[in-house]
Structure 1
Amino acid sequence: MPNELNLPSQPNKNIYTVSRLNADVRLLLENEMGIVWLIGEISNFSAPVSGHWYLTLKDSRAQVKCAMFRGNNRRVSFKPENGKQVLVKARLSLYEPRGDYQLIIDSMQPEGDGRLQQQFEQLKMQLAGEGLFAQSSKLPIPEHPQRIGVVTSSTGAALHDILRVLKRRDPSLPVIIYPTLVQGESAAFSIAQAIGLANERNECDVLIVGRGGGSLEDLWCFNHEAVARTIAASQIPIISAVGHEVDVTIADFVADMRAATPSAAAELVSRDQSYKLDQLVSKKRQLIAAIKQQLAMHQQQMLIQQHRLQQLHPKHQLQQQSQQLDEKETRIRQAIRDLLAARKQQLANLSHRLELRSPDNQLITAKQQLTSLEQRLHSALSTRMNKEKYALGLLAEKLDAVSPLATMKRGYSISSIGSTVVTKAKQVKADDMLTTRFADGKITSKVISIES
């Protein structure tokens, strides 16, 4: 049977369901179109209990349905009404259940304010791209400024608020006023000139630039590109204080600091008198501590110098040398005592060894007597020889030629054991009786020990 409906015999992936088609179209619209700005007249406005807004934006030839959800419409500062011209920032989307394409509104302003807001956003993006809002390019606000500059209207409420706060908190702080227009077509250039003049004169540490509250049109001079670039180029730190806390301007982004109000700016740059008093007390304590530390350090240095002077004084040097001599004398005396003690100990050791080797005590006594007799004999012989030296000398000269005694007189002697003359030490042994003949006599001795 022929296929009367011409349906494909094989599954085709290009066949959509309605829900799939609407979903794909929604994604296509949202991804391709992105954010759009749109001016139109409100009609069919409704605000159900859910808090969301539904409306139609139209012009003379077309219309488009819109939705603005509760989270976004809370930021709208006016009441939308049918017939009112508005500027909206929205995303293009599709309501899938009905297949209706619509706008999802993110923000809404009256047409006049909206155009200004659009210019604000464009300039904001441009300056941000150039880095004028970067935190790294901002100057630090001095903690204790010595002189304050104020760029504002000389008759405005902002100046009176600033001066009132400064008078209350820090009446001694000098204030320099750079009067300028803060509203109108020429206000932006007047503000830029005042900031330039303050930089040229360079007589203050920080500038407060601002005015009191007002509408978007009233504050628009602080959204001017010339003011923004002049603030960015300022060598003096600038605090932006424009309008009320909810008001935000381009000057706030470019300035080194933003204050919610002119009064808040005055609070930032001034210090309460009690704070100054606390600072003064703290500085006094630090100064006293520093003086005490310096005095202690100098006193310590003086003691060191006194000690060095005492070390170099002649009297001290003499005392040192005298003490050194006493110490050396003490060491010498102690060395002598130690040497004598050592010698005595050696002698005692030798005596003990001698006692151990002696046959008996009688031999020791005999030896002592013999030694005494030898000494007396030597003394007697010496005396006798001195008396008769001359006489004996004459006789000796006669006998010298023929008598061997001449040789003996020259200090030689002849030792013998019995009838054997001793010529070598090895002929003698201990306990031998040795007869020693001199020129004037002989002596008999007993051999105690032999040394080679």
Structure 2
Amino acid sequence: MLLESEFLNVWISGEISNLVKATSGHWYFSLKDNKAQIKGAMFRGNNRNVRAQVENGTQVLVRGRLSLYEPRGDYQLIVELMEPAGEGLLKQEFEALKNNLLQMGLFDQSSKQAIPVEPKRVGLVTSPTGAAVHDILTVLQRRSPQTEVIIYPTMVQGKQAADNIMWAINTANVRKEVDVLIVGRGGGSLEDLWCFNDEGLAHTIFNSAIPIISAVGHEVDVSISDFVADLRAPTPSAAAEIVSTDNSELVTKVRNLHSRLIRAYAHQHQANKNQQNQLKRSLALLHPSYQLQLAQQKNDELQIALHRAMTQTLKNAKQREHLCRERLNGLSPKHELTAAKQRMAYASSSLPKLMQSIIANNNRKFVSMAEKLNIVSPLATLTRGYSITTNEQGNVISDSKQVKKGEVVNIRLANGELNAKITDR
């Protein structure tokens, strides 16, 4: 109980010996080095996940918990994870560096730069003789042959590889001749790819002013460079596809732009045509002939209005004449004379002088009324030289257009009438 409660997670590196793979699927073995050994057991559910070939003499790194096998009184290690020794240690270093850089903020998405959509010049930081450069150039030649490529040759494996890669990235940043960098190589073991897990390289990638795409190994391979880079590509070929635009897409884009240009030209042409028609209409409204037509129309309207006004004035005059005649009849002296005669007959016997006075007053009134009547009488107008002209139908002529050449008209004067024949108008 003390062993199992105190040693729950133990890492041990050693050499496999006395390996027995039971028919049940469980493994039983000893782990030893030049100083000590310990028995171990790895049950079927855990050893299924071991990818390496395990046999006597294999150096491994295992993780497990201590336990006691009571029938023999032996303490042993119940192994839960087994990896080749070198790879296992490297993975531990990888996880430690990854956690450290994560705490430093080198993986933050807010720090990552955008990858150009259609870069004109692409830089490759890789081995000039490796498979990665061949794959990238093949993809770029097929998809986007117009894209320029600059190779910054470097080692991608070995102790000096990380320094070489950092030098190449710094050189590209100094020259400033590419829009984006692809840093990577083809696949390999964890040891082969270990240079991309260098802390100095991680800081160099993070501080690069040029956007960097990490394309290290195959899709299942993950390196520190993948986490720090602005974008991770699963393979070098995929990185080439990211930075290139397929020519077929460009052709489609050009065709779409051509169609848009044709539509825009047609739209602009129609707009210009509409504007031209509008200007023509505006010019027609300003043309002298149109203005003359408007003036003629306005003149005709004024003539019509004048004729209506004259006709209405003459009509009003006739109405006033009729009213005056009625008033004149109402004020006729004969009514006063009849009354005067009656009064005179009544008072003739006793008031002969009064009668004479009344007659004299009535005579004066008569004369005054006659003068007033003469003033408003149309006949008085005729005495001043005016005349009234009528046609054969008796209609008053007020416009020369109402008669024709050769027509006989009647001219009424103050004294008498004249018949005249129209010889000219």
TM-score by length of 1: 0.62
Aligned ranges for residues 360-371 of structure 1 at < 5 Å? Answer: 371=329
Assess, with a 3 A threshold, how the Cα gap between structure 1 residues 329 and 291 changes in structure 2: closer, same or farther: same
Superposition deviation, residue 82 in structure 1: 3.3
Cα distance in 2, alignment partners of residues 203 and 84 from structure 1: 50
Deviations 1:138-171 (A, max 9, x none): 3232232222211111222222222223223333
Cα distance in 1, alignment partners of residues 8 and 291 from structure 2: 99
Of 320-329 and 162-171, deviating more is: 320-329
Residue 222 of structure 1, aligned match among 187, 190, 196: 196
Give the root-mean-square deviation of aligned CA atoms.
Answer: 4.6
Residue 63 of structure 1, aligned match among 38, 59, 76: 38
Letter of the structure 1 residue corresponding to residue 133 of structure 2: L
**Aligned twin of 2:137:** 163
Assess, with a 3 A threshold, how the Cα gap between structure 1 residues 417 and 78 changes in structure 2: closer, same or farther: farther
Assess, with a 3 A threshold, how the Cα gap between structure 1 residues 178 and 416 changes in structure 2: closer, same or farther: farther
Letter of the structure 1 residue corresponding to residue 211 of structure 2: P
Superposition deviation, residue 175 in structure 1: 1.0
Residue 111 of structure 1 pairs with residue 85 of structure 2: yes
Superposition deviation, residue 269 in structure 1: 2.4
Residue 16 of structure 2, aligned match among 16, 20, 42: 42
Deviations 1:363-406 (A, max 9, x none): xxxx979839959x9xxxxxxxxxxxxxxxxxxxxxxxxxxxxx
1:151 and 1:180 in contact (8 A); partners too: yes
**Aligned twin of 1:134:** 108
Cα distance in 2, alignment partners of residues 317 and 100 from structure 1: 124
Superposition deviation, residue 194 in structure 1: 0.9
Cα distance in 2, alignment partners of residues 333 and 65 from structure 1: 133
- Point out where structure 1 has 5 or more consecutive residues left out of the alignment: 1-21, 355-366, 378-412, 421-433, 446-452
**Aligned twin of 1:438:** 362
Cα distance in 2, alignment partners of residues 68 and 233 from structure 1: 47
2:30 and 2:37 in contact (8 A); partners too: no
Assess, with a 3 A threshold, how the Cα gap between structure 1 residues 203 and 50 changes in structure 2: closer, same or farther: farther
Deviations 1:19-59 (A, max 9, x none): xxx6x996x55xxx775543233345444456555555455
Deviations 1:106-129 (A, max 9, x none): 543222222221111111112222
Of 207-216 and 297-306, deviating more is: 297-306
Deviations 1:257-306 (A, max 9, x none): 22232223223323333333223222222222222233333333444444
Aligned ranges for residues 253-402 of structure 1 at < 5 Å? Answer: 253-311=227-285, 316-317=290-291, 319-320=293-294, 323=297, 371=329
Letter of the structure 2 residue corresponding to residue 296 of structure 1: Q
**Aligned twin of 2:354:** none
Letter of the structure 1 residue corresponding to residue 271 of structure 2: M
Assess, with a 3 A threshold, how the Cα gap between structure 1 residues 180 and 68 changes in structure 2: closer, same or farther: farther
Residue 77 of structure 1 pairs with residue 51 of structure 2: yes
Cα distance in 2, alignment partners of residues 86 and 96 from structure 1: 23
2:24 and 2:44 in contact (8 A); partners too: no
Cα distance in 1, alignment partners of residues 29 and 230 from structure 2: 42
Of 61-70 and 74-83, deviating more is: 61-70
Assess, with a 3 A threshold, how the Cα gap between structure 1 residues 104 and 269 changes in structure 2: closer, same or farther: farther
Residue 242 of structure 1 pairs with residue 200 of structure 2: no
Residue 182 of structure 2, aligned match among 208, 214, 221: 208
**Aligned twin of 2:386:** none
Superposition deviation, residue 64 in structure 1: 5.8
- Point out where structure 2 has 5 or more consecutive residues left out of the alignment: 345-357, 370-425
Cα distance in 2, alignment partners of residues 338 and 35 from structure 1: 125
Assess, with a 3 A threshold, how the Cα gap between structure 1 residues 174 and 96 changes in structure 2: closer, same or farther: same
Cα distance in 1, alignment partners of residues 114 and 165 from structure 2: 22
1:57 and 1:66 in contact (8 A); partners too: no
Letter of the structure 2 residue corresponding to residue 438 of structure 1: N
Letter of the structure 1 residue corresponding to residue 329 of structure 2: T
**Aligned twin of 2:155:** 181
Secondary structure at 2:129 match in 1:
coil
Secondary structure at 1:438 match in 2:
helix
Aligned ranges for residues 405-424 of structure 1 at < 5 Å? Answer: 419=343
Letter of the structure 2 residue corresponding to residue 300 of structure 1: N
2:126 and 2:132 in contact (8 A); partners too: yes
Report the identity percentage.
48
2:115 and 2:180 in contact (8 A); partners too: yes
How many pairs does the alignment contain? Answer: 348
Assess, with a 3 A threshold, how the Cα gap between structure 1 residues 335 and 441 changes in structure 2: closer, same or farther: closer
